[in-house]
Amino acid sequence: MKKKTFSFDIILQPEFPSNSLVLIQEALRITNQYRINEIFKSKLITINAKKIRSSNGQWWKTDGGLEAIKNPDFIIVIGGNLPVQKKSKKLFSALRTAHKNSSKIIAVDTGAFLIAESGLINKETIVCTHWETKSNFIERYPDIKIVDNIYTINANGLMFAAGGISTLDLILECIKKIKGKDYSDEIANALIYRPREKSTTQKNERYNLSMDNICQKSILIMEKNIETPIKINEIAKKLNISLRTLERKFYKLYKISPIKFYVNLRIKFARNLLFYDDRKINEISSIAGFNYNSVFINSFKKIYNKTPSEYRKYFRNQQFDKSIQKN
């Protein structure tokens, strides 16, 4: 006889993205509502069982601490803005125990960092995380396989969603595997959503790469050459077009030159490091391809009206919560 009820324990980290939580909760709720039965049940878990704040400033009540985890079918770890800075040995132990007891573990967004820190990832595991934090992940865990897909499913019971709407794609896929396509289709229809395959890449979604667009191809080359920028005329050569043609296309589509676009891209890359990581400013400057720290600081301030250190301090003050204690 098939199991009738499936349990999901959702572990929330400080400054977690609330959209991922809501998508998970709604997907589970809709099936229960339509079938007039508790097919899926869920609990919200934090390390200390206290209220927790999401990245949009909302506070969420929880159903308990790590001790409330009782061999659920699924554990979902929704990471926050400071995935490595807010580590917990108790959490890692709970994840290892749950995995040993055959719970499926889903990491959402920066939750991938916590699964890596817990030691559960083996050489066959394929990981994905949000494109903003992918470079950070590679720097910290160079031996772990990471892809650009919106989600991954591994034979060892570990699953990863890149964040945002991809969380819904993975949850729908899980529901389809355990209850069938009718159930997952029912949820998707209620949410007016068409699920995407796990082979969908984040770059495809960001740049619509199905289109033969010179600018988009240029951007991909720029992204692969952040730390050691290449000249714009070299990009033009790689695309078999003239520099003038490339400049004209960028001005038409983005209203700026490809050089300016490239600098802005590197500044945004640096911004993500400032936001998610604790590297020193001069180290971030170098990683973002700036030979001179002063050039980086001035370029950054032109876009964000704050120096890199001011930007980091501003968001750290917003994220700081005295009630969060290391465990």
At 224-260, the pLDDT tens digits run 898 899 999 999 999 999 999 999 989 888 889 999 9
Give the pLDDT confidence score for residue 87 in this predicted structure: 74
- What CATH number is given for 208-319 in this structure? 1.10.10.60
- pLDDT given for residue 260 in this prediction: 93
Summarised one tens digit per residue, pLDDT across range 99-153 is 999 999 999 999 999 999 999 999 999 999 998 888 888 888 999 999 999 999 9
Q: What is the mean pLDDT of residues 266-276?
A: 86
- What stretch(es) of the chain map to CATH 3.40.50.880? 6-202
Q: Is the pLDDT of residue 56 over 50?
A: yes
pLDDT band with cut points at 50, 70 and 90 for residue 3: low
- Look at 206 and 131; give whichever has higher pLDDT: 131
Which residue ranges does the chain devote to CATH 1.10.10.60? 208-319
Tokens of 276: 């998610």
Percent of the chain with pLDDT over 70: 92
Burial class (CB in 10 A: 0-12, 13-18, 19+), 194: exposed
Architecture of domain 6-202: 3-Layer(aba) Sandwich (3.40)
Percent of the chain with pLDDT over 90: 59
Helix (H) or strand (E) holding 60: strand 59-60
Please, which residues have CB within 8 angstroms of residue 266's CB and are 6 or more apart in sequence? 226, 229, 288, 289, 290
Going by C-alpha positions, the residue among 318, 321, 295 that lies closest to residue 308 is 295
pLDDT in tens, 283-297: 999 989 998 889 999
For the whole model, what pTM was predicted?
0.79
